[in-house]
Amino acid sequence: MTRHAQDNAGDRPVSDATLRDLAGYNIRRASNAVQADLVRTLAPFELRMITYSALVLIVDNPGLRQTQLAEALAIERSNLVVVIDDLERRELIGRNPMPTDRRAYALTATLAGTRLCRKATRAVRAHEARILSLLSEEERQVLASTLRRIEQAANDEG
Amino acid sequence: MTRHAQDNAGDRPVSDATLRDLAGYNIRRASNAVQADLVRTLAPFELRMITYSALVLIVDNPGLRQTQLAEALAIERSNLVVVIDDLERRELIGRNPMPTDRRAYALTATLAGTRLCRKATRAVRAHEARILSLLSEEERQVLASTLRRIEQAANDEG
DNA sequence: TATTGTTATACTCTATAACTATA
DNA sequence: TATAGTTATAGAGTATAACAATA
């Protein structure tokens, strides 16, 4: 393919200096890349990120109600329903009636759910370890700390 | 509302220690919060994050082709079309024929587009400044640097 | 009246395949 | 044969409103 002088920006590297100054832009790009990678990591377990996260929290907090779980995951109650439906249909968790409040369910993991959770967590951690191996221990701590504060501040802006 | 002893996890704080160890989880939460905040910031300009980002790159790189722009934004060519359609319909940018390649368009911002870009950038920066004021200069640099490396590594895992 | 889980719905973001016109 | 832009479509993710059962 021949090139001509008047191609102007055609072959020069694209400058994204303005956007790279914005935390929101960098976070979106990193988040998209990491989420796509997590989809691949969790696919063998037939789990999505949100399904996996819900399972972990149920394993770690037996007896959780759905509203509590939705809040902990920072998603809407209504969007959690299909997630719980999926985990229950596969008999990884159970919706147990609460004697003290007949509106609510106490969520508990089955043995199969606990086992799958452990296996998936090992896979996710191994996968993350390869990515995070590029970062020093201090950088990892700064990353976790700054992300948490940014989330908090962004929510407070609302 | 009365409480009973058998409420089990009902009132205890939900432990998300397992998930908080995962970079992917923290990044997703921060990204969601920041994107939601950006939506609110850009709404007065009738811009979404992707529309704003595209406009910035066109202003900074006049003559850009759509494929180059999509690659720079890390989105699919096909998803960029409606974004460019929107910006063109509002006469913020123009699709100019390229004499050297009649398949492609050279994208350029109009005066109105350049002005809107400047105004929106000021608003976004002011908004980010409030959030980033919680971070030291060193933390901001570590954040930007680590996010970029994580994006790169996650893409390479694919 | 308020809350829990649920349904329905809509809008955004992303990914893929296939088409057209050019190269 | 390959590339630029386009169209259509499907799957996630997210948000809101409204409902029945229960508190």
Specify which residues B108 forms β-bridges with: B94
pLDDT band at A7 (very low <50, low <70, confident <90, very high): very low
CB within 8 Å: A154 and B8: no
The Cα–Cα gap between B126 and B1 comes to 44
Fold of the domain built from segment(s) B23-127 = Arc Repressor Mutant, subunit A (1.10.10)
pLDDT band at A11 (very low <50, low <70, confident <90, very high): low
pLDDT band at A39 (very low <50, low <70, confident <90, very high): very high
The Cα–Cα gap between A147 and B23 comes to 9
Structure tokens at B90: 């509002």
CA nearest neighbour of A128 among A23, A6, A28, A35: A35
The Cα–Cα gap between B8 and A66 comes to 14
The CA angle B72-B74-B76, to the nearest 5 degrees, is 110
CB within 8 Å: A154 and B15: no
Residues of chain A positioned with their CB less than 8 A from the CB of B3:
100
pLDDT value for B12: 80
Compute mean pLDDT per 10 residues along chain B, 158 residues long, and list them.
37 90 95 94 95 98 97 97 98 97 97 98 94 95 96 90
pLDDT band at A157 (very low <50, low <70, confident <90, very high): confident
Phi (first) and psi of residue B37, to 5 degrees: -70, -40
CATH 3.40.50.620 fits A24-133, yes or no: no
Of A residues 90-129, those with CB within 7 angstroms of nucleic strand C are 95, 101, 103-105
